[in-house]
Amino acid sequence: MSGYNFDLPSKATPEVVTERERLADEACRALVRAGIPAYRGDLDEDSGGRPGAHVRVDPLADGGVLVDWNTQGELAAAVVDLLERGVDPSHLPREIRHFETVQTCMRDAVLGILASAGFQVEKADAHSSGKAVQVKAFTH
């Protein structure tokens, strides 16, 4: 493979990752204090698909702390099943529209709760992170 030259994304420095870990812990704690089920998905290997606010650290240099929402498995599975069978984008089934509404509402709730708790937050890049929230800083 010496003939191939891949540009792999660079990873953040250990110091940056450590700071992101601290920020992710604080964000998770703030959500739990507000009554939102939240967990550090990057630390809990058994968390796959668990409903609630999934807080994770992206270790890439341009990454950060992301929070996305996991619905109960039943709703997610129904949506996946529908998408696998194929859907008309101009007439999405109710389950898919409902799933999208839940994702949007929970993203907006997480944005508001974390901002109120003193975090600098914004909607993450939809192309790479879907309906996630990016946690930039904690302003105490």
Q: Express each pLDDT in 32-49 by its tens digit.
A: 999 999 999 876 555 566
The pLDDT score that the predictor gives to residue 7 is 67
Angle at CA of residue 52, ends 140 and 117, nearest 5°: 15
Distance CA 118, CA 113 (A): 9
Q: How confident is the model at residue 128 (pLDDT cuts 50, 70, 90)?
A: confident
Which pair of tokens denotes residue 122?
Answer: 């914004």
Buried b (16+ CB within 10 A) or exposed e, 1-11: eeeeeeeeeee
pLDDT at 127: 77
Phi and psi at residue 72, to the nearest 5°: -60, 145
pTM of the model: 0.84
Whether 130 shows a pLDDT value over 70: the answer reads yes
123 token code pair: 């909607």
Confidence tier at 73 by pLDDT (50, 70, 90): confident
